[in-house]
Structure 1
Amino acid sequence: MIIYRVKCQSFWKTHAIIPDFIRPYKHNSACDSELTLRKMEDGVVVEKVETATSVSTLKRWMAEFRGKWYQVAGALRAVLYKLLKRQ
């Protein structure tokens, strides 16, 4: 797989353009992380999830996911409010 790099015209720094299934600075693919989180959301106990990822990492992922969930829910509420206000 080719990872393209681009240079910012303003600051002359380079940036990698990565596919959506790769998470930057992570060892696990986005697909693996998502499948694991789905299992835990479905009620599978963290210690029983079949993965090579450590339990502490799984717990951290779940905490990050829950934190982002509240942010996303708030953003969706704001969009819904704006849409309903226009009508």
Structure 2
Amino acid sequence: PISAFAHTLLRIDSKVSVTDPSQIHHAYALNYTVDGDPDDSFLIYAFKSMTGGYDNAIEIDPYPEKLAKYLKDDERDAWT
């Protein structure tokens, strides 16, 4: 549900990662999502996500770690 409702991930490049893409480990990921209740059913989760029924959550992590989590653990696609 998080992927479909109220989720954004932005890559924030450093000066180093902009000038040299092989230095991507210097970039950060800003993850904006909802802090939903995993015990809610899909319909309740979707409704609350779209109508502001949950608090927001903002995380800042190293980009390579977040990308690896997306691809491996969450089995998501990542478009850059």
Q: TM-score, normalised by structure 1?
A: 0.28
Larger RCO (CA under 8 A, 6+ residues apart): 2
More helix by share: 1
